[in-house]
Chains A and B, each alone.
Chain A
Amino acid sequence: GEDVEQSLFLSVREGDSSVINCTYTDSSSTYLYWYKQEPGAGLQLLTYIFSNMDMKQDQRLTVLLNKKDKHLSLRIADTQTGDSAIYFCAEPSYGQNFVFGPGTRLSVLP
């Protein structure tokens, strides 16, 4: 079955860039997703990328996809304290549900 892996923790200083990495196994995934979970909240869809794209930029967010290596990354420019959250990489699974990675807990230090 599908498997999604992420590093579990990342700490950055406010104003620096954050890069969160993800590897996945299902090469047939049409789209790949990043979700954000703030403390005590549900998941919020942050962005997605179509599998035939290498890069997608959306304001401070840049998603890079290396389909050959099955590697996805999320870069947050000028990281702010409000970006502190858990970030989940996800790929669609059968029945149109999702397989989620374990989540990367981003801590932004002042």
Chain B
Amino acid sequence: SAVISQKPSRDICQRGTSLTIQCQVDSQVTMMFWYRQQPGQSLTLIATANQGSEATYESGFVIDKFPISRPNLTFSTLTVSNMSPEDSSIYLCSVGEDRGLPYGYTFGSGTRLTVV
């Protein structure tokens, strides 16, 4: 399965600033997703990162707050903009390989963000 490198692994940021999270995959993948895991909660899909076009956002998430780039089939970034303490979460990159289901998807190790 694909190997994902996600950076940074953790960060503590001041409110009002922005943080860009990188997701690098060791092989070309069709689908890349960004999830948020708030403290003590399950995962919520933020958006699907589309190569060569704008990301597809889920209800409750907007591009101005979470801009996403996907310049090629192995790399994506998620930016958390104008951060507030409510943005403190783990952010996870996930990839779906061309083999598709039933193999499930691979997740990065996550970025633990604390906003102070």
CB distance from A42 to the nearest CB of B (A): 4
Q: Mark B90-107, 1 if CB is under 8 A from A, else 0.
A: 001010100011111111
* Interface set, chain A 20-40, CB cutoff 8 A to B: 30-31, 33, 35, 40
Within 8 Å of chain A (Cβ to Cβ): is B45?
yes
Question: Which one of A10-18, A44-52, A64-72, A76-84 is at the B interface?
Answer: A44-52
B residues near A (Cβ < 8 Å) are 4, 6, 31, 33, 41-43, 45, 48, 56, 92, 94, 96, 100-110, 112
New A-B contacts (17) at CB < 8 Å, excluding given A48-B104, A97-B33: A31-B101, A35-B107, A41-B109, A41-B110, A42-B107, A42-B110, A43-B43, A43-B92, A43-B94, A48-B103, A50-B102, A97-B48, A98-B45, A100-B43, A102-B41, A102-B42, A103-B42
Residue from B6, B92, B96, B110 within 8 A of A96 (CB atoms): B96
- Collect the chain B residues with CB atoms within 8 Å of residue A41's CB: 109-110
- Collect the chain A residues with CB atoms within 8 Å of residue B6's CB: 42
8 sampled A-B residue pairs with Cβ under 8 A? A30-B101, A40-B112, A42-B110, A43-B94, A48-B102, A92-B101, A96-B100, A98-B45
Q: Tell me whether chain B's interface is mostly helix, strand or loop, or mixed.
A: strand
- Collect the chain A residues with CB atoms within 8 Å of residue B56's CB: 95
A residues near B (Cβ < 8 Å) are 30-31, 33, 35, 40-45, 48, 50, 88, 92-93, 95-98, 100-103
Q: Are A30 and B102 in contact (CB under 8 A)?
A: yes
- Collect the chain B residues with CB atoms within 8 Å of residue A103's CB: 42
Q: Kindly report which residue of chain A lies nearest to residue B47, judged by CB atoms.
A: A97
Given contacts A88-B43, A103-B42, whether A44 and B102 have CB atoms under 8 Å apart is no
- Collect the chain B residues with CB atoms within 8 Å of residue A102's CB: 41-42
- Give A41 to B110 CA distance when docked, in angstroms: 7
B31, B92, B107, B108 interface centre (most CB from chain A within 10 Å): B107
A33, A44, A92, A97 interface centre (most CB from chain B within 10 Å): A97
Q: Are B48 and A44 in contact (CB under 8 A)?
A: no
- Give A50 to B94 CA distance when docked, in angstroms: 21
Residue from B33, B104, B110 within 8 A of A45 (CB atoms): B104
